[in-house]
Structures are given as structure tokens and as C-alpha cells.
Amino acid sequence: MTTCEVEGVALLLFDQRGEKLFCVRELLGNVTTGKVVGSFSVPCETIRSGETREKALERLIIEEVDSSGSLELEKASFMGSVPLSEGAAVAHVYVTRLIEGADYFFGMHAGVEIEPIGFLSREELLSNCRAGMQEILSLYSILQEHAL
């Protein structure tokens, strides 16, 4: 564990073309993690005590993305970690792409903690995003620039 209060995982799930991100709208707020009711986010989940990042990512996919198990996703790659809420939390960021699946899907937390809003462009996500999303997307952009 790091020295922050809360650790979590965040998932950048791109559509089949790799252009748009699967996004959710927050239905519950959380000051420590920067969640604001009504704001847009990529799927994020807090890591439970004793849980590995990988297990938390598996749980995130079931709870916030696809509870049916019907989506085919590329194996998620770890991108890096981003401090949130002035260091009170850290998001360990993973990236993947949809290979095959329905146009609309939802996890177990749909309607409770989050509302799936589908695939949005980076600009659409940033237009109403929760705290930390800019930092997460900046990390992705920096890594993409260095990969070229």
C-alpha cells in the first residue's frame, strides 16, 4: 500500500476503433476519491483490504462495466498511477479495448453507484468530468506520445 488514504483502479475502455471511452455518470459522491454526483468518469473502483490490483480490476469490470460477462475485451495493460484529491487517493490506471460485444452494457452497480452513459469522445468526457479524470487522461496522452 502507498501512503495515501485510498487506492483504486481506473479503466480506460476504448471502443472497437480505439477512439471513444466507455464512461459513466456518478450517482454517489465521495470527497476522498473526488466523485461528484452527476459528473462523468471512466469506471473506477476502490481496492479492498487484502485485494490485489488485478482482482480489483476484475471486480470493476463486473460491477461497473459488464455483469453478464458477454463482452470480449483485450487484456488490460497497466499504464501507471495517478494521485487524486491532493494525494488522499491514488488511481492505478489500466487500458483496454472492446473487441466484441453489445452497443449498450452495464455492470452490477448500474443505477446504484453509477449510470452507464456509453462511449464518449475525450472532449465529451472532459466537459463534465469528476476530479482526477484530466490527470488520468493526461497520463494516457503522455504515454501515447512516447510510444510514437
Q: Which fold has domain 6-147?
A: Nucleoside Triphosphate Pyrophosphohydrolase (3.90.79)
What mean pLDDT value characterizes the chain? Answer: 87
Burial 77-108 (b: 16+ CB within 10 A, else e): eebebbebbeeebbbbbbbbbbeeeeeebbbe
User: Is residue 1 pLDDT above 50, yes or no?
Assistant: no
Domain-by-domain residue ranges, the chain? 6-147
Whole-angstrom distance, CA of residue 62 vs CA of residue 34:
22
**pLDDT one-digit tens code per residue, 129-142:** 877 888 888 888 88
